[in-house]
Structure 1
Amino acid sequence: MSHRLKASHLIAGLIVVVVGYTSSVAVIFQAIAALEATQAQAASWMLALGLGMGVTTLILSLATRMPVLTAWSTPGAALLATGIEGVSLPEAIGAFLLSGALVTLTGLSGWFERLANLIPHHLASALLAGVLFAFGLAAFEALGTDTVLVAGMGASFLAGRLLLPRYAVPLALITGIAIAALTGQFNTTATLDLSITQPFFVTPAFNWTVLLGLGVPLYVVTMSSQNIPGVMTLRGAGYRPPVSLAMTVTGLASLLLAPFGGFAFNLAAITAAISAGPEADDDPRSRYLASVMAGVFYSLVGLGGAAVIGLFLIAPPALVAAIAGLALLGTIGNSLAGALQSPKGREAALITFMIALSGISFFGIGAPFWALIIGYGVDALLTRRPT
């Protein structure tokens, strides 16, 4: 069945890319700096990451007709930025290849998909709400730092919800850009290199201590902190994603692009909620077109990797925070409703939500993993108690 491309798909895809880059691109730059990469190598990283996300998103979305988005591993980038003292760039590339191979084997084996199918819907919804809640909160925190800009965007969003519900988020984005331009908030001193970025191949080196100390942790944090929330995001939106296929595709992309800087790819969670939500399309069957557009935009941005730094230095932070929060309001509300709908699982869902929101970390593994583990244990305990 064919579906028609709409303006809401284009806008949702654009917002996905804006949020995806601005929310964590600084961490990528820190990782690049920690590895002492040259300017050409740094640009190659942005090229590989953009094309990797774009192509894998296009493959998975078109093959499944679901809004399946991929992303770089933000926790993986944080691991690189803080845990690679004394590691050379070629040794890090070798660790990237090991992590990509492990993700590929995970997809081919199918065990991760069987595990994901055991997660109850109310826990999936609670996890998604906890992961996204901070982004919704950031929009209102920005109201205190840039009242005129954020208040104007909020008023435009409410007007859109009343008059043109499907285009409420685009109207808020246009309003924000207009206010920022009129008040001179765009940084006009930044220079942009608009040439097409060239790939830079780095020959990997395999050091067993780096493979164990960096490659295996990169795999673990990517699976626990990114792929699990990514699966739960789509399930919370009513989709049953082909988990094994997604693991295989993202793992192979990591293997192919690691020598150029594509250190790790995985299912997206936060940005996936944008393309999988009602703001992208009222019809869940055609929301995949929003992720298709995101794949196209990711690829185009990747080709201009050298200009990425300049682009995201131009936009005021309050604009980015506000549009991300407004775009996710509907998904956060639906997730909370799904999490708390069943009285029997409400306590476990609340615990899952609050742990995911807390940002705690143990053994280098982030809050989403522990929220799911603890929430599942509490749910199993309480749902078996006598009534």
Structure 2
Amino acid sequence: MEKRQIIEAGPGIASGLRDLFKYLNLKTASAGLVAAIFGCSGPALIVIGAANKAGLSNGQTVAWLFAIYFLGGLISLFLALRYKQPVTGAYSIPGAALVAGSLAAFSFDQAVGAFIMAGIIVFLLGISGLIGKVMRWLPMPIVMAMIAGALIRFATGAVSALGTAPIIAGAAIVAFFVSMRFVKTVPPVLAAFVVGLIAAFATGSVGGGSAEIAFVMPEFTAPTFTLDAFLAISVPLALLVIGAENAQATGVLMAEGYRPPINMMTIISGIGGIAAGFLGGHNANIAGPMTAICSSEQAGEDKEGRYAATVVNGILFGAFGLVAGAAVPVVMSLPGALIGTVAGLAMIGVLLAAFQNAFGRSLGNQTGAFVALAVAMSNISLMGISAPFWALVAGVVVSFIVERDALISAQAAPSKAS
């Protein structure tokens, strides 16, 4: 039996750079652009809202944005080029919501200390190889059902946008499917974005967004380490990074036929958490939804080249972090209905693969998979940990109770393969 390395080997950055321009095309570039617009719009407002609620200065807010966007972009570039897979970096969106609530009870310097400690937890779990073992142990139907449940809200969000902005969302949706059927040279997701943007301009919907910060220099905060902040912020934030973002991204990549470097993804998320914490941000890690966009068929038919979409996204993400104070108002001028519709359309291929791999007739663990789907769709949050983590837990527990033989068979398969 071959011994598995803790840090997975990959083709290497030199190989990734050498082949990059071969795969850089309209489809990979447009998928990377859509993922970046998604990550730089609504999620940025969550961070800005948390900072405003906590009374942070404009400089501290910009430092927070710089930390998570610039480092998230670096994570994308490093992992995409090293492994030639669309492993996309960003930050934990539910983690930002968690921090927003915690800042009512803790000073920002205590929160910064907790951010660093969360990164250390994630790093240790990655370097130990534990996360890789757990992910290989989980039955694939349950993981895929969790992915389907976690991402289905993006697809339904595209439909809901028809109710709030029928012209913008409708134009984008029609353009997507017409392009898919008749215009093979233009990526459907790019056609949807361009046509939706034209509709937004035509209806006067561009320019309504705003951000309450101006272009100022980042102001960094010295950390303070306390046990209370460790228990209230560090532990749940670390679990969110691993159980929501990394698990989602891993499942998405598996659904698309990749062998993701699970341990390295965890290690780099830990390093990103530590570095972002010292800069005043809550975590820089692997991004579930953005990995889904960059790994989907919208990034090109050749899955070997989809890592170029992540490279494009990483460059845009990093640039956004460098000019966050000026860039946020520009991105937020785009209507939310357009961003939500295009993101939902980009998820179609990933969702199809996830459902097929979760509920195929020949697969076991169907009851556990259905429970995982329902829990992930519920968007429940317990003890500060979001639904994807609890979906995996509930799916495995139910499968153990009602379909134990199928669960044992699924868990034995990885060990035979190794």
Q: What's the CA shift for 1:214?
A: 2.1
Cα 1:213–1:149, aligned 2, differ >3 Å: closer, same or farther?
closer
1:205 and 2:224 equivalent?
yes
Paired residue type of 2:372: T
CA contact (8 A) 1:35 1:87 kept: no
8 Å CA contact 2:40–2:328 kept in 1: the answer is: no
Query: 2:286 maps to which residue?
Result: 267
Where does residue 223 of structure 1 map in the other structure? 242
- TM-score w.r.t. structure 1 length? 0.93
Q: What does 1:232-247 align with in structure 2 at a 5 Å threshold?
A: 232-247=251-266
CA shift for structure 1 position 151 = 1.5
Counterpart of 1:160 (choices 171, 176, 179) is 179
Partner of 1:280: 299
Q: Percent identity?
A: 28
Counterpart pick for 2:275 among 250, 253, 256: 256
CA distance, structure 2, for counterparts of residue 39 and residue 149 of structure 1? 33
1:178 maps to what in 2?
198
Alignment CA distance shift 1:27-1:12 (3 Å): same
Identify which of 70, 92, 108 aligns with 2:127.
108
Report if aligned partners of 2:75, 2:285 keep a CA contact under 8 Å in 1.
no
Q: 2:327, 2:280 → 1: CA distance?
A: 15
Q: Mean alpha-carbon deviation: is it higher for 355-364 or for 183-192?
A: 183-192
Report the number of matched residues.
Answer: 385
Give how far 1:192 is off: 10
Question: Aligned residue for 1:325?
Answer: 344
Question: One-letter code of the match for 1:172?
Answer: A
Residue 169 of structure 2: aligned partner: 150
**Counterpart-to-counterpart distance in 2, 1:250 and 1:214:** 16
Contact in 2 for aligned 1:127/1:353 (Cα 8 Å) = yes
Measure, in 1, the Cα distance between the counterparts of 2:390 and 2:330: 35
Partner deviation per Cα, 1:27-74 (whole Å, 9 max, x = no partner): 212321243210111111111111011001111111111100122111
Residue segments in structure 2 that go unaligned for 5+ positions in a row: 1-14, 407-418
Q: Secondary structure at the match of 1:279?
A: helix
Indicate the residue corresponding to 2:393 in structure 1. Answer: 373
Q: Distance in 2 between matches of 1:39 and 1:190?
A: 15
Q: Does the aligned pair in 2 maintain the 1:121–1:236 contact within 8 Å?
A: no
Q: Which runs of 4+ in 1 moved over 6 A?
A: 191-194
2:111 and 2:229 in contact (8 A); partners too:
yes
Name the amino acid aligned to 1:218. L
One of 66, 73, 79 as aligned partner of 2:98: 79
* Cα distance in 2 between the residues matched to 1:150 and 1:188: 16
Q: 2:299 aligns to what SS in structure 1?
A: coil
SS of 2:347 mapped into structure 1: helix
- 1:48–1:199 Cα contact (<8 Å) kept: no
2: CA distance, partners of 1:212 / 1:189: 36
What is aligned with 1:362? 382
Confirm or deny: 8 A CA contact 2:252 2:354 kept in the other structure. Answer: no
| CA distance in structure 2 between the partners assigned to 1:223 and 1:177 by the alignment | 35
Matched, 1:293 2:293: no
- Aligned mates of 2:64, 2:321 — CA distance in 1: 9
Distance 1:179 1:55, change over 3 A: same
- Cross-structure match for 1:309: 328
- The equivalent residue for 1:22 is 41
- How far the C-alpha of 1:230 sits from its partner, in A, is 2.2
Unaligned runs of 5+ in 1: none
Q: CA deviation at 1:194?
A: 8.8
CA distance in 2, matches of 1:384, 1:249: 35
The equivalent of 1:139 in structure 2 is 158
Q: What is the distance in 2 between the residues matched to 1:249 and 1:222?
A: 11
Paired with 1:52 and 1:78, the residues of 2 have a C-alpha distance of 19
Give the superposition deviation at 1:92: 1.2
Structure 1 residue 257, shift from structure 2 partner: 2.6
Q: Aligned partner of 1:365: which letter?
A: I
CA contact 1:36–1:89 (8 Å) conserved in 2: no
Residue of structure 1 equivalent to 2:370: 350
Contact kept? 2:58, 2:213, Cα under 8 Å: no
Does the aligned pair in 2 maintain the 1:231–1:267 contact within 8 Å? no
CA displacement, residues 271-314 of structure 1 (integer Å, 9 cap, x when unaligned): 11111111101011111111111101101111111024312431
The DSSP-based 3-state class of the residue aligned with 1:177 is helix
Match of 2:66 among 32, 47, 69: 47
| Cα distance in 1 for residues equivalent to 2:211 and 2:163 | 30
Asked if the contact 1:194–1:304 (Cα under 8 Å) also holds between the matched residues in 2, the reply is no
Deviates more, 1:352-361 or 1:220-229: 220-229
Letter in 1 for 2:385: I
Per-residue deviation at 1:385? 5.5
| TM-score (normalised: structure 2) | 0.87
Alpha-carbon contact 1:9-1:281 (below 8 Å) kept: yes
